[in-house]
Amino acid sequence: MDMTTQDKIICAAINLVREHGYKGATTKRIAEKAGVNEVTLFRHFGNKKGIVEAIVDKYSFTSITSDTFNREVKWDLEKDLHLLAALYQDQLNQKRDIILIGFKEAGVFPELDELIAKVPSQYIEMLTSYFQEMIHLEKMRPVDPHVAATNFFFINFGYFLLNRRVRPDGQEMPREQFLKENIAFFTNSLKLQ
């Protein structure tokens, strides 16, 4: 399947930012790597910030999983958290380049920081709503749903960082082991007594 012009530009931008940083990935370089002229890039995205916004939107967690969430959530705490953690790990791995670029460029370009911050915010928002409903259905202890969501996010994001930044040599805990052990631990703290 052929890539669209927008996809070629997005792919080129991700590769160049990874190699040269946000500042070094000029619109001219991005256009050359994508095999288009700079005018085409501007017509599709307006500027480099527009490309980054398109990257974040394209790899947004909620846009990819909201249908799955609505279709597959069973309102069973352990099964649902396993599903939500697995989906999130898949999404983190799909957009690992842009996330790692965000860390590399942190503080240098506030607009990039703002865009990257959307990714965990969307996941935490979805989890908060889920925990609110589980409390309402009396299927878990009445805790602060936002605190529970934030903690669950940190467990999952921590696993991603551990494997991508702390242990990039491949010495990682297998994903299924991580999911099984950490979800069991987390759900035990939320179960009704």
> Does pTM surpass 0.95?
no
- Average pLDDT (89-117) is 75
Identify whether residues 74 and 158 lie together within a single domain.
Answer: yes
**pLDDT score at 102:** 75
Over residues 147-167, the pLDDT tens digits come to: 999 999 999 988 888 877 655
Q: Please tell me what DSSP assigns to residue 106.
A: T
Identify whether residues 89 and 179 lie together within a single domain.
Answer: yes
Over residues 54-78, the pLDDT tens digits come to: 877 776 666 556 677 788 899 999 9
Pick from 56, 75, 92: which residue ends a domain? 56
157-164, Cβ contacts within 8 angstroms, sequence gap of 24 or more: 157/92, 157/120, 159/89, 160/89, 160/92, 160/93, 160/96, 160/99, 164/96, 164/100
Q: Which residues touch 134 (CB under 8 Å, ≥6 apart)? A: 75, 77, 140
CATH of the domain at 36: 1.10.10.60
For 11, the domain range is 5-56
- Average pLDDT (85-99) is 82
Identify whether residues 180 and 104 lie together within a single domain.
Answer: yes
**pLDDT score at 90:** 86
Identify whether residues 10 and 97 lie together within a single domain.
Answer: no
Identify whether residues 147 and 177 lie together within a single domain.
Answer: yes
Looking up tokens 């607009």 gives 111
Identify whether residues 122 and 175 lie together within a single domain.
Answer: yes
Identify whether residues 71 and 46 lie together within a single domain.
Answer: no
Identify whether residues 74 and 152 lie together within a single domain.
Answer: yes
Total of domains in the chain: 2
Identify whether residues 82 and 101 lie together within a single domain.
Answer: yes
Answer whether residue 95 shows pLDDT above 90: no
Identify whether residues 35 and 88 lie together within a single domain.
Answer: no
CATH of the domain at 101: 1.10.357
Identify whether residues 39 and 99 lie together within a single domain.
Answer: no
Percent of the chain with pLDDT over 90: 44
Using alpha carbons, select from 67, 7, 70, 72 the residue that is nearest to residue 33.
Answer: 7
Contact 192, 138 (CB under 8 A): yes
Identify whether residues 150 and 180 lie together within a single domain.
Answer: yes
**pLDDT score at 167:** 58
Dihedral pair phi/psi, residue 2, rounded to 5°? -75, 145
- Give the separation between CA 77 and CA 84, rounded to whole angstroms: 10
